[in-house]
Structures are given as structure tokens and as C-alpha cells.
Amino acid sequence: MTIKFEKIKEGMTLYDVRKNTGMTRNKWSIWPVLVIEVDPEKRMVLASWNHNKKEWMTERRVTGYRAKEPEQTYRH
């Protein structure tokens, strides 16, 4: 489930989850997104995606992330 903008708080870790399309054992690719600051007036979030340099992200981008990390599932 994606998260609503109003529920995003500083210090949270969100998860960017995408389905793998190649020949891998993992069904999902998961990257952490660390929330550093929330600007409710501009509706933007300062965050670090996958431990990279922090950047301002729009509401549309961050509300596509998940609040909880999904379980890894494997298919053979």
C-alpha cells in the first residue's frame, strides 16, 4: 500500500518497491527512502533514496512509496 502525504513524518523510512522484469530469483526490488524533512506548505519531502544524496521530492513521487517493507517472495 502506498502512503498518504499527511502521514509522512521526519525520520521515517519509506520503501520504493518495483517488480523485477528480468531473470532473477527475487520477485521484487526494494530500495529504502529515508525522510529527512517534510514541507507541508510546498507538499514536498527532503529525502535520501537508497542512501544517495538527499533531494527534494514531490508529493506525487513520495506517495508512490510504501510505509512498510514487503516480504521477499521467491519463485522458481
pLDDT digits (tens, 9 = 90+) for 60-71: 999 999 999 887
| Residues 10, 36 contacting (CB under 8 angstroms) | yes
Q: What is the pLDDT of residue 22?
A: 73
Q: Is the pLDDT of residue 38 over 60?
A: yes
Segment 24-52 shows an average pLDDT of 92
Q: Is the pLDDT of residue 39 over 70?
A: yes
Segment 30-53 shows an average pLDDT of 97
pLDDT digits (tens, 9 = 90+) for 10-33: 999 999 998 887 766 667 788 999
> Largest Cα–Cα distance in the chain?
47
CB-based contacts of 7, cutoff 8 Å, min separation 6: 67
